[in-house]
Structure 1
């Protein structure tokens, strides 16, 4: 459609450039390896997934343990082996399934480019480009390889590469760096450096070599926990073996078995698997809702969000824009205004949503007038003359200034004068109040208003020194999305504050936000008045709607909210959102918007429906809350085994349990219930630090286990109870406490949770009775049974009071820390 407005004097030059490479030349460059493809990727390949699941530190420990048990002939205690193999296989399968889904969706959302080959224009994947290809670059396009401009003028933002937010004009002969993106204008460029030779590839390679800091608090906490456990198990294992074999005079087999039991108890073998599966399932569930995650762990960041920054266009309103009407200013002629706008739209290279809406409107108007003149030619001479004037008008553009986010207007110099089109406040400057009343009736109704004015000054590209003469207003509208109220209502109930950050008039944006049901939408500010960082930081908390915001200010607003202690998500669909998106805790892009924004974001809404945002947040909360809850079960065993090993060393006793018994406890009080609970919907808001919350829940149960089993071992020594009976009674007591913590973390109970509890109790009883030899469960003596019952009742009271005590201490420390924190 835009081509109908292109100036005809450009056509001969376009034909020269539009030939591009031939098919043979492209094939030759493919053979030589000059292809815009690189092996640098942040995603794991299938081979890397298998290696990361198989060749782990703990799998190596399990391999050593297996060899030791085989050497001493204790094959019964290899019951942990199927679980470890199953964990590894399930982890590989789930990650590969998630990768398959992500790869399929990523292909649909992959960067594309418009290339000229054999004189034909076609759209292909950026990876299929070769050196010397000629491509067409338009507003919103990310530059996919180092290139040189052949024809046309564009404004480029290189902030993702240089950190500088200023827009740079690129004219024929100018160099373009891959990774930057086009803000406005249109040009043809020839690719010079592609693939691994391009600037962005070299930069990415350096960043990958340096490594990336883990952004997911949950994964970071689990990594930290596993790291410390991995450090302590080796020296503890050596000490336990030395004590059992040398100090206590146990057999070599008994010493090895006891040491292995302690080490297995300290390894959270299922925690990594649980986390991987939960993230993979969450990713696949979101994929079914047309949500693409560039990183599976990004759903955790969005689940923790308490401030959501959104743009007006494409988020609150539909992505499409349309011209409601064109209104002449005082003493201006409507016919002259429309013909001037037509010539203006023909001259400027901008192809953003605003200019496309103006072109569509003018084309419809022209067709309507042409049709009306044909049907009523004799009766309306004046109307025919008006049509001829409108259709024939063709001014020659002498100079063009594309729209930029910094100036908020574009400009064209015709033979009869210089003209500007853009935001009224920026075009008129200090004289804006002279026209404020004329446009206020439209902005109050939520319309967006552009001003077309004649500029009497000498230079449209510099600072406007003269007062422009208003000619007319373009009244634009964006219908509010049907589900906007419901979506923003959800965030209100979840305690997530919404900030609307837009480049449009603040009064207009405020009205649109109010109609969409955003709380405190009446609190708006013109970002043009926020000329210092102090004002921006002060406004971040005070206001809900920010209008006339520049890309750099969006970034600063995100920083201000983060510095105030908020977890910030930024949504956007345009190149002006990228600066803020890359610095937000989580970034969300609409696939229908700029390709550069979609590639920079962590989350992409493939159908551009903002109503999916509650699904993304809910999915993230389910993953984090359920992993957090289930992690408490895993850590109970780890805390018990660590403290019990220390108790055994200090009291010079042999570790009382066998590996098979540890496997039985893990299976029915940790593994199975943990994975089943992870499937339950959990939409609660995430609060507190992951590791702290997990340890607070697990510590009372772990300490109860140590005190009860330690006391039972001492009683066994006093009453000369066989070690096998003590081990069996200890196993049952640990299962009792395991079910106590399971009930505790499952509150409030429902049918699903009761089903999990009953299933695991039944499974435990079946294995303990029918497979007693496999799991080293002996026939206990009467005194052993009596002691087990007494300690079981004692365990309930001890667990309850320890829980109350630990929670009380945690609240006291938290309140002291809160009172001691500096007031903002």
Structure 2
């Protein structure tokens, strides 16, 4: 499908067209305008109502020469300095956050292929993408075919085929093939830039319940002490006829006792020390008050693969279906593996285990997608499928589930091997007929060594762990149980949720 306003694929943009887009600001440069300047941070920490109260009190004491009563000032100054240092430090840490690793990309301009820095790309540039490249901006394929990994954006490590007309998301990686792509959204308008800027955003709303409560107390105390301070001063100066200096000092002695400046400093120091400890463990904080937000977490959602388990997979064994009486199942799967590229973790595990086949050549292949959850190899008028049982079996699931359910309950990831009576393509991959089940491949994911003690720690802290995974719910439940997650047996299959109700 030809793109509207498509750049000439033979020449790319001309120098004049590039110059025009640069003048229009359509350049692939991200503006970190979500950050406060150091001056703004200092101003926000110095110009607070809390500091204003003590400034007025300090000025009054200076006027009457009561310098010895200014002992509260170091507390206020230290509190302000700690806040400024921590927020500037957080800003500098967040400024280093970047999902884009690429520095240069090959682009077609004035009929020449040149390498330029990604920040000099402009809208409608034709970039030439090949294996190993990171997509620098949102684009559309105009020529060729590539397979991309969008794990940085979606968390799924599946490789997706991109043909002319397909959209490319910035931040994805090209795992195979070569293609020409025309940039559509660059700089701050690209998806990866918006994602990065959102992650870096420091926000302006107070997130700490503890600090917000203390600020609330100070706000009301600050309001109350104004008439109270005037009343105390008037009583001392006009009625008791004390000196002006004595009246100021006695009034401030009474008023200062109402303001919890020590509590404010203690809170700031505790948060700052906690932030330092987390920083040593390479935890990135927006500001020191994030520590309290972390302490208030009561539900933690995690993925299975790569989080509970190691990010690798291995074939444990194969199981023949009762209905299969043909040749050796391992040889059939070997033929499948020989014809299907190892473009994801699952297929790499299958390639590593099934190294021998009968030599049968495929007519075509059906790549894996996260929507279908299966891949296929076409031999004649039959498509051999390997994938998730519930997606391949559909209405036949109850008929075969007793053959493999026990293995899923043992923690294996079960893949079904089946023949579909028809030729499936990427454009027509919907299963409409019953399949002939050949057998099952059992995959195992070793659980991370640190997973169980980590989840036990969270359990002691009263945090509920919820596992959200695209794998078979029985398998996920079993793995979660082995990792020590409380309530792992209480699982829900999202495919059975309809109109907000679980059936």
TM-score bin, normalised by smaller chain: 0.7 to 0.9
Matched with 1:418 is 383
Does residue 1:277 correspond to 2:269, yes or no?
yes
Who is 1:497 aligned against? Answer: 464
Query: Do the aligned partners of 2:82 and 2:268 also contact (CA within 8 Å) in 1?
Result: no
1:265 paired residue number: 257
Aligned 1:573-592 pairs, distance under 5 A: none
Q: Which protein is bigger by CA-based radius of gyration?
A: 1
Q: 2:3 is matched with which residue?
A: none
Q: 1:512 aligned to 2:479?
A: yes
SS of the residue corresponding to residue 432 of structure 1 reads helix
Comparing 58-67 with 292-301, greater Cα deviation is found at 292-301
More helix by share: 1
Show the 5 A alignment for 1:619-630.
none
**Counterpart mapping for 1:694-705 below 5 A:** none
1:295/1:308 CA distance change after superposition, 3 Å: same
Cα 1:494–1:205 shift into 2, 3 Å:
closer
- For the pair 1:194 / 2:159, whether they are aligned, the reply is no
Which residue does 2:441 correspond to in 1? 474
Q: Specify the alignment match of 1:531 in structure 2.
A: 498
Instruction: Look up the match of 2:244.
Output: 252
2:33 to 32, 40, 64: 40
Contact between 2:87 and 2:288, CA under 8 Å: does it hold in 1? no
Q: Which residue of 2 aligns with 1:591?
A: none
For residues 203 and 302 of structure 2, the distance between their equivalents in structure 1, rounded to whole angstroms, comes to 31
Give the match for residue 286 of structure 1: 278
Partner of 2:72: 80
Cα distance 1:472–1:285, how it changes in 2: closer, same or farther (>3 A)?
same
SS at 1:149 equivalent = strand
In the alignment, what sits opposite 1:455? 420
Where does residue 381 of structure 1 map in the other structure? Answer: none
Pairing 1:408–2:382 present: no
| Change in CA separation of 1:30 and 1:66 when aligned onto 2, cut-off 3 Å | farther
Q: 1:233 to 1:489 in 2, by over 3 A?
A: same
Q: Is the 8 A contact 1:21 1:118 kept in 2?
A: no
Q: CA deviation at 1:285?
A: 1.4
Unmatched runs of 5 consecutive residues or more in structure 1: 1-15, 162-167, 370-385, 537-824
Alignment of 1:323-362 (within 5 A): 323-326=315-318, 329=321, 330=324, 331-333=326-328, 334-345=330-341, 351-361=343-353
CA distance in 2, matches of 1:506, 1:478: 15
Compared CA separation, residues 54 and 407, structure 1 to 2 (3 A): same
**Distance in structure 1 (CA, Å) of the matches to 2:203 and 2:281:** 32
- Contact 2:382–2:422 (CA<8 Å) still a contact in 1? no
Q: SS of the residue aligned with 1:450?
A: strand
Q: Which runs of 5+ in 2 are unaligned?
A: 1-7, 109-115, 155-159
Structure-1 residue corresponding to 2:5: none
After superposition, the C-alpha distances for 1:298-330 in whole angstroms (9 at most, x for unaligned) are: 443342333433332222221222233455652
Q: CA deviation at 1:431?
A: 0.6
Give per-residue Cα distances to partners, 1:124-144, cap 9 Å, x unaligned.
9987876537386999x9987
2:50/2:218 contact within 8 Å kept:
no
Other-structure match for 1:92:
84
Residue 448 of structure 1, CA deviation:
0.6
Deviation at 1:474, TM superposition (A): 3.0
The answer to whether the 8 A contact 2:137-2:186 is kept is yes
Query: When the two structures are superposed, what TM-score results if normalisation uses the length of structure 2?
Result: 0.74
Task: Summarize the Cα distance change of 1:475–1:222 in structure 2 as closer, same or farther, 3 Å threshold.
Answer: same
Separation (CA, whole Å) in 2 of partners of 1:110 and 1:51: 31
CA RMSD of aligned residues (A): 4.9
Per the TM alignment, residue 335 of structure 1 is displaced from its structure 2 partner at its CA by 2.3
Using the TM superposition, name which of 413-422 and 62-71 deviates more.
413-422
CA contact (8 A) 1:98 1:281 kept: no
Match of 1:730 in 2: none
Alignment of 1:646-685 (within 5 A): none
Secondary structure at the counterpart of residue 415 of structure 2: strand
Q: What is the CA deviation profile of residues 590-647 of structure 1, one whole-angstrom value per residue up to 9, with x for unaligned ones? A: xxxxxxxxxxxxxxxxxxxxxxxxxxxxxxxxxxxxxxxxxxxxxxxxxxxxxxxxxx
Separation (CA, whole Å) in 1 of partners of 2:459 and 2:353: 38
| 8 Å CA contact 1:36, 1:127 repeated in 2 | yes
Partner of 1:287, secondary structure, is helix
TM-score scaled by structure 1? 0.48
Check conservation: 1:155, 1:402, Cα contact below 8 A: no
Relative to structure 1, the CA distance from residue 297 to residue 79 in structure 2 (aligned partners, 3 Å threshold; closer, same or farther) is closer
Paired positions, count: 471
The structural deviation recorded for 1:511 is 2.7
- CA distance 1:202–1:512, shift in 2 (3 Å): closer
Match of 1:220 in 2: 212
Going by fraction, where is strand more abundant, 1 or 2? 2
